[in-house]
Structure formats: C-alpha cells, structure tokens
C-alpha cells in the first residue's frame, strides 16, 4: 500500500511537504499543493493512522464502554439510541468510535483502562448506572478525559450527563394525583443503580408534597424485566390495601405489571405508568403511559462534552441534566372513581 514517501516521490517533493499539505499548512505554494494532491489521488493514498497517532500522541478515536449486566434485560432502544447520539456527534469531528461491551461489571475497569493506556483512544464515554467509585477515581487520578452517562456520587468531581430521574419520579406521581389517585405504589429497579435511587427519591418527594399515604411495602424492588414487573404487581394486588396507581421505573416492568392486571380483569382499576417510551408499548392494550427519556441527546451531549475537553481543551468537570417528558396514554388516562 502506498505510503507518504511514494506520494512524495511521485509529486517530486519531500515527505515533509506532503505531510504539511495533508495538515493544511499555509506555507506551501499553491502549485506544490496541487501536485501533491494529485499524487495522493493517483495513488489512492490514506495516511497510516498508527504512525500518525504514534508521533502525535492522539488517536482521534474515543472509546465507549457499555455495561450490560441486568440492564441488558430491557431490550429497549436505549443502547442503540445512545450509540447513535454519540456517533452522530463524533462523525462531525471525524472521530472514530471503539466500542467495548462488558458482560460482567468487573470487566469494566480493565477494558476501560486498557483502551486508554494502550493509546487506542483519546478518551472514553462510560454508560452505566452503578457506582464504580474505584474506576472513576482511577480515571480521574490519571487525568484521562472521560464522561459518564448517568451520574457519579455527589462528591465526585467528574463530568457526566444524565436525565432528570428525580423529576421523572415526581412527574409520574404528579400525573397520577392529577387523575385522582391517592394510593400510589412504585415498582423500582435494582436498589444499587443510581437510576433506581433517583427515581425513587422523586417518587417519595412527590408523595410527601401531596401528603399521600405510603404504607410499608408500597415500594417494591423489581429487576427491570417484564417478569419482575409481573411479580411485583401481583404482590401489590394481594395486599389488603392495594394501590390504584403504580409508577414503574421502566417500561419493561410496566408491561409485566399490565399483564398481571389483565389476568385479573383490573386493567381499568389500576393505573400504570412506565419510563422510557419503548415504541411498541404504545400498541399494548391499554397503551402505556410513560415518561420519555432523551436517549439520543444523552449520547450526543456526552460526546460533545468529551470532544470539548479533547479539542478545545476545556478543563474541569461539567455536569449536565437533560429533561424528560411525560407521555399520557390510556393506561393512566382516566379518573379515579370516574365510574368507568
């Protein structure tokens, strides 16, 4: 394959000159530039990225680490959408994207540090909702550019972009209260995920604000799967004081919850709202109300943050919260005691 020397020879110049033409240096005469470009075209020349990265100490690529433990279960469009968002932003700057999907949480740190220390990438985007303090502090300690999709512990001085999970919980409860509900339960995700923690906090804040009862056991822990939602709803319904409205921390669990209701003919007795706006949930019977999360933008924003610090030299951690949006459909669109 042609290298820079071949181009130089064909154009009758030195490799330095070719390199400068590629870099767009202004100190090269127009005629020479034309000759060099012509030679590059003739030889179908592409600069070797490895050689270039070696001397420049920049790879022009960023790593994306996707943790897929239990979250993988919800086969919703989160994962591809966030990648699309990242990709669209990277393309605009000519950056490449190396993807690392880790199955087990303990692979995460290794994969991440390997990409960086081997100089395969200039920085990383980490998508995960578990609190890996160790990884974050190692990244920060070595001054590696990175941004988290999700959020870090309050103290951590790291960059992240997240959606407003507390508001998500509040909006859901607010909506249900607006429809006349007073007995509202929550089916949450695994307790160690920040999404679960935040959504529950929002839920509880709204419950307090509206002075609702919150009997013990009204917040049950699911696992972000349909079956988990089914079981959780069954548990809630078997109580002496079942709720009339249920906020599920994810659409998959909401779907399971709806199944449980349907089996018991309680579809119009208990309102269900989820989170994520999985496209197909609009077609269920009843169509599922939900809180839509700006997944694409999460990815795009994370990429922009990272590129800013890489190319503009923006220093210091930045944290961005993107708003989510209530989507009302039939599963909650009726009023308690409305005689339906």
Partner DNA sequence: GCCCGGATTGCAAACGTTTGCGCTCACCCT
Partner DNA sequence: AGGGTGAGCGCAAACGTTTGCAATCCGGGC
Which residues contact DNA by CB under 7 A? 1, 3-5, 12-20, 22-23, 26-29, 31-32, 45-48, 51-52, 54-57
> Token pair of 280, please?
């197909």
Report the distance separating Cα 125 and Cα 111, nearest Å: 12
DSSP 8-state secondary structure symbol assigned to residue 31 = H
Q: Between residues 117 and 264, which has the closer beta carbon with respect to DNA?
A: 117
Q: At its nearest, how many Å lie between DNA and the CB of residue 2?
A: 7
The sheet with strand 289-292 has its strands ordered as 219-221, 184-188, 245-248, 271-275, 289-292, 325-327
Judged by CB under 8 A, which stretch of 23-31, 80-88, 154-162, 308-316 contacts a second copy?
A: 80-88
Q: Answer with the entry of DNA, a second copy, none that 17 interacts with (C-beta below 5 to 8 A by kind).
A: DNA
Residue 80 binding a second copy, by CB under 8 A: yes
Given candidates 51, 153, 191, 335, which one binds a second copy under the rule CB under 8 A?
51
> Token pair of 203, please?
């839920």
Judged by CB under 8 A, which stretch of 30-38, 71-79, 153-161, 302-310 contacts a second copy?
A: 71-79
Report the distance separating Cα 165 and Cα 204, nearest Å: 12
Residue 137 binding a second copy, by CB under 8 A: no
Residues 6 or more apart in contact with residue 281 via CB below 8 angstroms = 251, 254, 255, 274, 287, 288, 290
Judged by CB under 8 A, which stretch of 23-31, 95-103, 164-172, 203-211 contacts a second copy?
A: 95-103
> Token pair of 134, please?
């160790």
Could you identify the residue written with the tokens 């943050």? Answer: 305
Q: Answer with the entry of a second copy, DNA, none that 20 interacts with (C-beta below 5 to 8 A by kind).
A: DNA
Q: Answer with the entry of DNA, a second copy, none that 283 interacts with (C-beta below 5 to 8 A by kind).
A: a second copy
Residues 6 or more apart in contact with residue 69 via CB below 8 angstroms = 103, 104, 105, 130
Task: Compute the chain's Rg from CA coordinates.
Answer: 26
Tell how strand 325-327 and strand 289-292 pair up. Answer: antiparallel
Judged by CB under 8 A, which stretch of 41-49, 125-133, 178-186, 322-330 contacts a second copy?
A: 41-49
Residues 6 or more apart in contact with residue 174 via CB below 8 angstroms = 206, 210
DSSP 8-state secondary structure symbol assigned to residue 310 = I
Dihedral sign of CA atoms 179, 227, 66, 221 in order = positive
Q: Between residues 7 and 173, which has the closer beta carbon with respect to DNA?
A: 7
Q: At its nearest, how many Å lie between a second copy and the CB of residue 144?
A: 11
Q: Between residues 120 and 318, which has the closer beta carbon with respect to a second copy?
A: 120
How many residues of this chain bind a second copy (CB under 8 A)?
47
Q: Between residues 9 and 269, which has the closer beta carbon with respect to DNA?
A: 9
Query: Which residues in this chain contact a second copy in the complex, by CB under 8 A?
Result: 1, 44, 46-51, 53-54, 59, 61, 64, 68, 75, 77, 79-80, 83-84, 87-88, 96-101, 103, 113-115, 117-120, 226, 255, 258-259, 278-281, 283-285
């Amino acid at each position: 394959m042609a290298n820079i020397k071949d181009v130089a020879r064909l154009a009758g110049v030195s490799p330095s000159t070719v390199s400068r033409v590629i870099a767009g240096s202004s100190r090269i005469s127009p005629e020479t530039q034309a000759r060099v470009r012509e030679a590059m075209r003739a030889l179908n020349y592409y600069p070797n990225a490895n050689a270039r990265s070696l001397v420049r100490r920049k790879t022009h690529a960023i790593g994306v680490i996707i943790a897929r433990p239990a979250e993988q279960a919800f086969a919703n469009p989160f994962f591809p959408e966030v990648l699309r968002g990242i990709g669209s932003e990277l393309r605009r700057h000519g950056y490449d994207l190396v993807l690392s999907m880790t199955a087990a949480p303990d692979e995460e740190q290794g994969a991440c540090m390997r990409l960086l220390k081997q100089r395969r990438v200039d920085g990383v985007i980490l998508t995960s909702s578990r609190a890996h303090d160790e990884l974050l502090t190692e990244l920060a300690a070595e001054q590696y550019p990175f941004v988290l999709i999700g959020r870090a512990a309050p103290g951590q001085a790291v960059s992240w972009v997240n959606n407003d999970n507390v508001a998500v919980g509040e909006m859901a409860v607010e909506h249900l209260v607006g429809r006349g509900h007073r007995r509202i339960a929550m089916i949450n995700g695994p307790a160690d995920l920040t999404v679960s923690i935040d959504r529950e906090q929002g839920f509880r804040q709204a419950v307090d604000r509206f002075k609702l009862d919150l009997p013990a056991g009204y917040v049950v822990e699911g696992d972000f799967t349909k079956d988990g939602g089914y079981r959780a709803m069954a548990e809630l319904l078997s109580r002496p004081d079942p709720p009339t409205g249920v906020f599920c921390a994810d659409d998959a669990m909401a779907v399971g919850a709806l199944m449980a209701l349907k089996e018991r003919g309680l579809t119009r007795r208990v309102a269900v709202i989820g989170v994520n706006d999985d496209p197909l949930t609009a077609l269920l019977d009843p169509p599922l109300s939900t809180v839509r999360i700006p997944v694409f933008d999460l990815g795009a924003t994370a990429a922009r943050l990272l590129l800013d610090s890489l190319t503009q030299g923006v220093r210091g951690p930045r944290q961005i919260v993107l708003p989510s949006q209530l989507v009302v459909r039939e599963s909650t669109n009726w009023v308690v005691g409305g005689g339906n």
